[in-house]
Amino acid sequence: MTFLSRIMLLKSQAHFSADVHRAGASMNGTFKGTGKRKTEMARKRVGLMIAGFAVAYAIIGGRLVQYGYAHPETVSSILPADRLMASRPDIVDRNGEVLATDIRTVSLFAEPNKIVDADEAVEKLATVLTDLDIKGTYKKLSNPQSHFQWLRRQLTPKQQSQILALGIPGIGFRPEKRRFYPGGTTASHIVGYVNIDNRGMSGMEKYIDNQGMADLRALGMTSDTPLEPVKLSIDLRVQNILHDVVSEAITKFEALGAGGVVLDVHTGEVLAMVSMPDFDPNNPAASAQEGWLNRMSNGTFEMGSTFKSFTLAMGLDEGKVSLNSTVDARYPIRIGGFTIKDFHGKNRVLSVPEIFQYSSNIGTAKIADMVGTDAHKEFLKRLGLTTRMKTELPEVAMPSQPREWKKINSITISFGHGVSTTPLQTAVAGVALVNGGKLLPPTFLPRTQEEADQVAEQVIQPSTSKDMRFLFEWNGVKGSGRNARVDGFNVGGKTGTADKVVNGRYVGDKNFNAFLSAFPIDNPRYVVLTVIDEPKTDKGNGAALAGTSAAPMVAEIIRRSAAILGVEPKFGEDGSALLVSY
């Protein structure tokens, strides 16, 4: 019964109401019964209508669920639109220079069920996207059961306008954000990179995600609102200098790889770090896999004679020797079928400074023997050289050492053979040798002196640290560190030239050269470590020795960056560089 019919009925009932009353009690009862039945019928009709709507909505809901399961491609295989537009925080250096930022872009998708002619669509798209996978794209577009397919992520504005002009039905654009790295390769191993979905894959980008960014994104709790920048400890100016120097060394020495790091000895901040080969984080896939390896923190190497610094520090700290002690280095050491001899032996008794200056394997081994194997192992662990380094950077390798330390192991490890560690760990341990004996976990984030004091661990005596500064200076003036000297800055350090192991054997034509240094050595502020992996030693360019390959790199880094780092040179009245007086 329609709404209008019900109104007409009510009017008729009103006209006959008087007659009904006159008809008597029986008639009145009959009317009342008829009214009740009509009311019940109206209620039933309303109930049926409600039930009908409920069934209809249930069917629609069920079909939507069925549609979602039957056609999973109707939903982005990557992320919903709101998450695709979610912001990542900018990454900046200690001075606010941008290292990584988001830029807006669009991605191309298709709804194959709306494509009229797949052949024509592919043909038109290929005129703009010249590298389009013709066969793969046609396969995507020719599936009428598919409702969503990505065709190309992160288009340029020009590509978008050109595709729009083609007027292809079933083709659309989805807003996204793309990560942009203004410096390209300059700090690639520190900053890292993100994948196509703007998720951190390495470096500090991955660190940011590990701090909760990825979890928030998964829960849909991120937004397009700009986030507070993440400031790093890196100084982009020093990073650029280090990058140039390492790049020049690779070219000059035709090396397999090279790297360097600059550390603040009072805070443990990493001011710059470079590993080469590297990659462009704007297009990481274009680099060979070799370029992704961060040799400084994720590669382990036998560090050669730089380890003699730690052995002598151990002997001094344990009280087994002093700077005035002497050690008989006249005869080779024979142990376990091996002969330990000096590269340029003096064949005489050497003082402790001379052992350091001449890089005597014999003298160093005898000092390690004085300390003992167990104490030697514990000392290296205390300096963090045999355990996994703790820092923000995710790419950190675990050092290797003998399963069981025997006397022969202790002797060879004393001069840098038998333990492999990362160059960054070596530099961090070097910081403790010159800063008064405090081991500071390296950080890629800004750290104040007060914060550094809270995490610092006293690993050697201040007096030992003072003695090591003297030895570094001694070697810088009289030993293998001469090529690292820069007038006015009192650079001291220790070289390391290590034969590499190939198929279980040491080979003489493949070296890993390193130079561990600090400046100004009378009151150190920075440690600089450089490494060169497999320089070509037959070119007559000094690549065979760390003193003529890695040490000059340190000199160039300090010469160009000291002023930026706030270190003033010291000269005498005659204009000559002042030497340290101990």
Q: Which residues are catalytic?
A: 305
The bridge status of strand 457-458 relative to strand 257-264 is unpaired
Neighbouring CB atoms inside 10 A of 485's CB total 21
Going by C-alpha positions, the residue among 398, 393, 341 that lies closest to residue 366 is 341
- Which segments within 379-467 are labelled E, that is strand? 438-439, 457-458
Secondary structure (3-state) at 167 = coil
Query: Rounded distance, CA 503 to CA 519, Å?
Result: 38
Secondary structure (3-state) at 309 = helix
- Angle between helical axes of 407-414 and 307-317 (0-180°, round to 10): 110
* 146: DSSP letter: -
**133, 152 contact by CB (below 8 A):** no
Going by C-alpha positions, the residue among 344, 342, 348, 350 that lies closest to residue 323 is 350
Query: Rounded distance, CA 471 to CA 364, Å?
Result: 14
Look at the chain and count its residues: 582
Q: What is the DSSP string of 58-101?
A: HHHHHHHHHHHHH-GGGS-SS--HHHHT-----EE-TTS-EEEE
Going by C-alpha positions, the residue among 188, 191, 245 that lies closest to residue 532 is 245
Rounded to 5 degrees, φ, ψ at 275 are -130, 130
